[in-house]
Amino acid sequence: MKDTAKHQGLRNQLASVLEQKGITDKRVLDAIKKVPRHLFLNSSFEDYAYQDKAFPIGAGQTISQPYTVAYQSQLLQVEKDHKVLEIGTGSGYQTAVLFAMGAKVYSIERQSELFKSTSILLPKLGIRPKHLTFGDGYKGLPNFAPFDSIIVTAGAPMIPKPLMAQLNRGGRLVIPVGGENETQIMNLLVRIDETRFEKHELGEFRFVPLLEDKN
């Protein structure tokens, strides 16, 4: 598991590309520079790891495009020690970026194959989420709620009510909304108080679908 000066140079270049595309949060850009994305990919993709592209990671899932990871992370407005719930651990790359930003990350993955491999990989890289679990992302993690922010890394047909309920006041939920074969719209929900949320729709993205009760 090598991480060389060449890899670091490629990460710096990637961060510059993301900055040109509109990523301004220094915490996000520093995390992109820090996290060795090539170690989260199949070794056959290593030469392409620092291109701004998504790649397959097995179990019909993908590692998201770095711009998407950075964009969602920026929307969360993460501060040190924020409690962040991630729905869809996947390869663990987004988890690692949030961890590098100083967040306390709680993450759920519903694909057992990915859950097992990521659970082994993250500690090897010195990345320690507060809680990594195998389960249904629609339900969130009520036992650990409330969260300062929630990030969903798969397209959902609608915004799951349990996730809204698990947000702190002032908390932010970032989720792509749309059906399986359509482009999803990135949604940002900010919790105003017990019953009110402010909603923003922020452009089109493509994600794998968020599936319910499919364990």
**Which residue numbers are catalytic?**
64
How far is Cα 156 from Cα 25, in angstroms, rounded to an integer? 26
Contact between 89 and 95 under an 8 Å Cβ cutoff? The reply is yes
Q: Is the dihedral of CA 129, 132, 138, 140 positive or negative?
A: negative
Contact between 58 and 109 under an 8 Å Cβ cutoff? The reply is no
User: Euclidean distance between the first and final Cα of the chain, in Å?
Assistant: 31
- 157 vs 160, 175, 179, CA distance in Å? 9, 10, 5
Letter string b/e over residues 39-48, b meaning 16 or more CB atoms within 10 A of that residue's CB? bbbeeebeee
DSSP letter at 128 equals -
Burial class (CB in 10 A: 0-12, 13-18, 19+), 73: buried
Element (H, E) at 118: helix 112-124
